[in-house]
Amino acid sequence: MLMGEFQHNIDPKGRVTMPSRFREDLGDAFYVTKGLDGCLFVLSSAQWDKLTEKMGQLPISKARSLQRFFFSGAFYTEVDKQGRILIPPPLREYAGLTKEATILGAATRAEIWDSARWKAYNEEQTQENLLSAMELLEI
């Protein structure tokens, strides 16, 4: 399970260190794509295959927007010897990644956020939002 929050700098070439704890679950190669709320999703090959399979089961009339969103910008990347991955310019632009990134675990995926955007997102969260989400879990 991917969990925790880590801060890393993005180098001028667009590389960021992936936390070693995450590399244990994700492997040495995985997928990075546009995520929701202005972040990037990082999925292991197994999770990517599940996403692809589920999308393939939907009628094209329902799935086409999701397919375009997730697959058009997707990038298969490998971890280098220093534990870094390259984030291509279009994905960096989408997520507003400049200098500092926050990489967090979200159970079955990791997310890469611009640190300032992550802070702003957290400040927007209210107890009411969280309570209504928890009701879905019947907690």
Please enumerate in sequence order all residues whose Cβ is within 8 A of that of 108, keeping only pairs 6 or more positions apart, or say none: 1, 2, 43, 47
Check residues 116 and 136 and name the one with the higher pLDDT.
116
In the prediction, which pLDDT does 139 show?
Answer: 66
Mean pLDDT, the chain, rounded, equals: 94
Check residues 133 and 90 and name the one with the higher pLDDT.
90
Query: How far apart, in whole angstroms, are the C-alpha atoms of residue 94 and residue 127?
Result: 28
Mean pLDDT of 63-92: 95
Work out the percent of the chain whose per-residue pLDDT is above 90: 85
pLDDT of 110 higher than 80: yes
Tell which CATH classification among 3.20.20.70, 3.40.1550.20, 3.90.660.10, 1.10.1790.20 matches the domain 5-137: 3.40.1550.20
**Six token digits for residue 102:** 């926050």
Q: Are strands 75-78 and 40-43 parallel, antiparallel or unpaired?
A: unpaired
Mean pLDDT of 18-45: 96
In the prediction, which pLDDT does 62 show?
Answer: 84
pLDDT of 5 higher than 80: yes
Tell me the per-residue pLDDT of 125-139, one tens digit each, with 9 for 90 and over: 888 878 887 888 876
Work out the percent of the chain whose per-residue pLDDT is above 70: 99
DSSP code of 33?
A: E
